[in-house]
Structure 1
Amino acid sequence: MGEPTAELIRAQIRRLRNAAGLNQEEFGRLVHYSASMVSAVETGGRPYDRLFLARADEVLNSGGLLVALLKMAERDGLPSWLRPWLEAERNARQLRCFHPTLIPALLQTANYARAVIRCDDLLSDAEMERRVTARMDRQDVLRQENPPQLVAVFDEGLLHRRDESFRGLLAQQIEHLVACAEHPHVSVHVLPLHVGLHIGMSGPFTLARGEEGGWVASMECQLTTSVIDGDADVATLLSRWEMIRSEALSRRQSLELLKEVVTSWT
């Protein structure tokens, strides 16, 4: 995180604490920090974390300001090629996600996301955790007051990557999918193995429809996520989406399959 942003957050902690009429010792007791630790956080001698900021927001009745500032700073630290898509995702009214090999990011558990991101052994532990946090923050779009409609399709084949070290994690992920699908704005569909070859094997993509009705898309590769907004290309992806969705199981059938898979492991 850039120093100007970090200093802004520290300044807001000091401002809100003073406005609440709390000295560092009083504030520390409420957030389970010592006065010396509060002082170190406010002066930059000690880093703050999300848990501390969440506690501070609650104690200082700041409406989530401090955590929101942290999220903004983390988004600013993301690669420039990803930011346009995240903006489209946050403003979407409808989302259509397909992935042939992974659970779509908006439906991943933190442990599943961590396992996927950890596959890149060039990342430091700190960078890996930063990416996990950023991915979990993206899911806030599904928890807002007026969330978009999300329809997600993924290939059944990913349910069969389940060596002993991965099985518990995947079972937790499937249970999370089932819980997500209980919400009326989330629909999960499995593309069954018997479909064989299909157009989706060319790679994952996501479509987002904004407030004004226009669609944009993203396509992932090993290094970047490309935003697609040309009319012809978006129309092609919408057509491919319809072909993939038509081959997938219904919502009810998909949930039954997911439950059966977990049951078969136990």
Structure 2
Amino acid sequence: MDDDIGWEVDADDESSAIAELIGRQIKFWREAAGLRAVQFGERMGYGENLIHKVERGARIPRPEFLDRADEVLGAGGQLRSFKPDAERARYPRRVRDLAKLEARSVEVCAYNNSVIEGLLQTPGYAAAVFGCRRPPFSQDELDTRLAARMARTAIIDASKSSPVFSFVQCESTLRRTLGGTMVRQAQLEHLLQLARLRNVNLQVLPLDLEENAGLSGPFKLFKLKDGSTVAHSEAQLTSRVISDPKEVQILDVRYGMIRAQALRPRESLAFIDKLRGEA
């Protein structure tokens, strides 16, 4: 059970600050209950060393740990209330930054010619994408990244005041059989479901175009509630948010050209449905 106490702290200021805050609160309630770390660990089912790691902020406790600690220490829900913070802190900084931009946006635009865009991925497809990474992720890192990706997809919810989404997928990403035939089939079906949501516009950029404005690779545009626009670009070993107005303008123009070159939404749905039937 010791290995399930929580996650290693990501090496950035926000994760460290959250982990240290939670750790101090656990120590405060433990001492208020008159328990030594070894006694608290025995009641929790963990070793003393791991309890000290959590209290120092070296480990981010899992939600079930916080639930149990709240009960054992009689914290009256105070420790349990840190579960959303602990969940957020466990994810890599890049993921947290993207989630913040998505939450601040009125419109999110994304073009991808490498894989299915992250917000559109099924768990099986996402696991296949992360599994292709070389050198490979550890199982714990893979699980963390998969959980982070799936948590971000919750923002596509037409029943809430979520952003409007515009996605353009290169045809190659729809034909690539990552994870096998069944994973691809489920992913195509998922795309069809999402494309029917009121706040989602999904288009396919065909491979047989003589001109293609998207050859330079994937990127995103975030049109924020304050009227500004920022972009995000990801390539080999790099991930950066772009705020320079001139660079953002170039990508905005480029995205408009990509949308114009792509199939219209209704044609795109028919195209995806045809691919699903061929799978």
1:149 maps to 164
Amino acid at match of 1:148: P
1:118 aligned partner: 131
Specify which of 206, 228, 236 is matched with residue 222 of structure 1.
Answer: 236
Alignment TM-score, normalising by the size of structure 1: 0.76
1:95 paired to 2:100: no
| C-alpha distance 196-119 of structure 1, shift in aligned 2 (>3 A) | farther
Shift of 1:212: 1.3
Matched position secondary structure for 2:221: strand
Match of 1:139 in 2: 153
Mapped contact 1:9–1:66 kept (Cα < 8 A): no
1:90 & 1:147 partners in 2: Cα distance? 8
- The Cα of 1:264 is off from its aligned counterpart by 1.6
Cα deviation digits, residues 68-110 of structure 1 (max 9, x gap): 12322124x435xx65444222211100000012111111111
Deviation at 1:252, TM superposition (A): 1.3
The residue number in structure 1 matching 2:87 is: 71
User: Once the 2 structures are TM-superposed, how far is the Cα of residue 221 of structure 1 from its aligned partner?
Assistant: 0.7
Structure 1 residues not aligned, in runs of 5+ = 16-35
- The structural deviation recorded for 1:208 is 0.3
* SS in structure 2 of the partner of residue 212 of structure 1: coil
Instruction: Tell me the SS of whatever aligns to 2:105.
Output: coil
Judged with a 3 Å threshold, the aligned counterparts in structure 2 of structure 1 residues 85 and 10 are, in CA distance, closer, same or farther, namely: same
Deviation at 1:145, TM superposition (A): 2.6
**Shift in CA distance, 53/173, structure 1 to aligned 2, threshold 3 Å:** farther
Matched AA of 1:117: F
Give the share of equivalent positions with the same residue, in percent: 26
- Work out the number of aligned pairs and report it: 239
Contact persistence 2:88–2:96 (CA under 8 A): no
CA gap 1:41/1:256 in 2 versus in 1, 3 angstroms: farther
Equivalent position SS for 1:187: strand
Q: 1:26-60: per-residue Cα shift (whole Å, max 9, x none)? A: xxxxxxxxxx997226985699655x47998xx99
Residues 214-259 of structure 1: per-residue CA shift (max 9 Å, x gap): 1100111111211111111111111100100001111111111111
8 Å CA contact retained: 1:98, 1:153: yes
Query: What is the TM-score when the length of structure 2 is the normalising length?
Result: 0.73
Q: Deviations over 1:157-177 (max 9, x none)?
A: 2222238x6211111111111
Q: Which amino acid aligns with 1:140?
A: A
Q: Given the superposition, is the C-alpha separation of residues 48 and 41 from structure 1 closer, same or farther in structure 2, using an over 3 Å criterion?
A: farther
1:158 matched to 2:173? The reply is: yes
Distance 1:67 1:133 in 2: 15
